[in-house]
Chain A
Amino acid sequence: MSNSLVIVNTGCANISSVKFAFERLGINVDVSDDVKVIAKAQRVLLPGVGSAPAAMSSINKKALASCLRGLTQPTLGVCLGMQLMVTDSQEGEFGKTDLTSSLNLIPGHVKRMQVGNLRLPHMGWNRVTSKLANPLFVGIPDGEHFYFVHSYAIDNYAHTLATCHYSSAKKQSDIGVVPIHANAELVDAGPMSAKPISAKPISAEQLKADIGTTFSAAIHKDNFFGVQFHPERSSDAGAQLLKNFIQL
Chain B
Amino acid sequence: MLAKRIIPCLDVKDGVVVKGVKFRNHEIIGDIVPLAKRYAQAGADELVFYDITASSDQRVVEKSWVTKIAQVIDIPFCVAGGIKSVKDAGKILEMGADKISINSPALSNPKLIKDLHDTFGQQCVVIGIDSFFNEETGQYEVYQFTGDETRTQKTAWQTIDWVKEVQSLGAGEIVLNCMNRDGVRTGYDIAQLAAVRAVCKVPLIASGGAGEMQHFADVYNQADVDGALAASVFHKAIIDIPELKAWLSIQGIEMRS
A residues engaging B (CB < 8 A)? 14, 16-17, 20-21, 23-24, 49-51, 94, 119-127, 145, 147-151, 165-171, 189, 191-192, 230, 232-236, 238-239
Given contacts A233-B76, A235-B40, A239-B74, contact A120 B124 (CB under 8 A): no
Determine the residue in chain A with the shortest Cβ distance to B202.
A119
Interface residues of B in 148-163 (CB under 8 A from A): none
In the assembled complex, B141 has its CB within 8 A of some CB on chain A: no
Residues of A within 8 A of B75 (CB): 147, 233-235
In the assembled complex, B118 has its CB within 8 A of some CB on chain A: yes
By the criterion CB–CB under 8 Å, are A120 and B45 in contact?
no
Give bound CA distance, A171 to B71, whole Å: 37
In the assembled complex, B232 has its CB within 8 A of some CB on chain A: no
Residues of B within 8 A of A167 (CB): 1-2
| Nearest chain B CB to A92 CB, angstrom units | 13
By the criterion CB–CB under 8 Å, are A169 and B40 in contact?
no
In the assembled complex, B123 has its CB within 8 A of some CB on chain A: yes
By the criterion CB–CB under 8 Å, are A14 and B1 in contact?
no
Selected interface stretch from B17-25, B90-98, B101-109, B132-140:
B90-98
Determine the residue in chain B with the shortest Cβ distance to A231.
B74
By the criterion CB–CB under 8 Å, are B94 and A21 in contact?
no
In the assembled complex, B203 has its CB within 8 A of some CB on chain A: yes
Most chain A CB inside 10 Å of its own CB: which residue of B71, B72, B74, B203 = B74
By the criterion CB–CB under 8 Å, are B5 and A149 in contact?
no
Give bound CA distance, A171 to B254, whole Å: 10
Given contacts A145-B257, A235-B75, 15 further A-B contacts (CB under 8 A): A16-B94, A16-B95, A17-B98, A51-B121, A120-B201, A121-B173, A121-B203, A123-B203, A126-B1, A149-B123, A166-B2, A169-B254, A191-B252, A230-B76, A239-B74
In the assembled complex, B226 has its CB within 8 A of some CB on chain A: yes
- 29 pairs across A/B with beta carbons < 8 Å? A14-B96, A16-B70, A16-B94, A20-B71, A23-B71, A24-B72, A24-B74, A119-B203, A119-B226, A121-B122, A121-B173, A122-B2, A123-B173, A125-B2, A125-B45, A145-B256, A149-B76, A149-B98, A151-B123, A166-B2, A167-B1, A167-B2, A169-B4, A169-B254, A192-B252, A230-B76, A230-B98, A236-B74, A239-B74
B residues engaging A (CB < 8 A)? 1-5, 40, 45, 67, 70-72, 74-76, 93-96, 98, 118, 120-124, 172-173, 201-204, 220, 224, 226-227, 252-254, 256-257
Give bound CA distance, A151 to B117, whole Å: 13
By the criterion CB–CB under 8 Å, are B96 and A17 in contact?
yes
Give bound CA distance, A104 to B130, whole Å: 45
Total A-B pairs, Cβ < 8 A: 113
Determine the residue in chain B with the shortest Cβ distance to A118.
B2
| Nearest chain B CB to A142 CB, angstrom units | 13
- Specify the main secondary structure of chain B where it touches its partner: loop
By the criterion CB–CB under 8 Å, are A119 and B201 in contact?
yes
The 6 closest A-B pairs by CB, nearest first: A16-B96, A145-B256, A125-B256, A149-B123, A125-B3, A233-B76
Given contacts A14-B93, A171-B252, contact A147 B76 (CB under 8 A): yes
Give bound CA distance, A127 to B1, whole Å: 7
Determine the residue in chain A with the shortest Cβ distance to B90.
A14
Picked from A23, A49, A232, A236, the residue with its CB within 8 Å of the CB of B121 is A49
| Nearest chain B CB to A207 CB, angstrom units | 16
Give bound CA distance, A24 to B204, whole Å: 31
Residues of B within 8 A of A51 (CB): 121
Give bound CA distance, A234 to B74, whole Å: 6
Most chain A CB inside 10 Å of its own CB: which residue of B121, B226, B252 = B121
Picked from A16, A125, A165, the residue with its CB within 8 Å of the CB of B67 is A16
Residues of A within 8 A of B224 (CB): 169-170
Residues of A within 8 A of B202 (CB): 119-121
Determine the residue in chain B with the shortest Cβ distance to A165.
B1
Determine the residue in chain A with the shortest Cβ distance to B93.
A14
Residues of A within 8 A of B254 (CB): 169, 189
Give bound CA distance, A233 to B76, whole Å: 5
By the criterion CB–CB under 8 Å, are A233 and B2 in contact?
no
Determine the residue in chain B with the shortest Cβ distance to A80.
B121
By the criterion CB–CB under 8 Å, are A49 and B226 in contact?
no
Determine the residue in chain A with the shortest Cβ distance to B77.
A233
Determine the residue in chain B with the shortest Cβ distance to A238.
B74
Most chain A CB inside 10 Å of its own CB: which residue of B1, B71, B72, B256 = B1
By the criterion CB–CB under 8 Å, are A126 and B3 in contact?
yes
| Nearest chain B CB to A240 CB, angstrom units | 11
By the criterion CB–CB under 8 Å, are B70 and A17 in contact?
yes
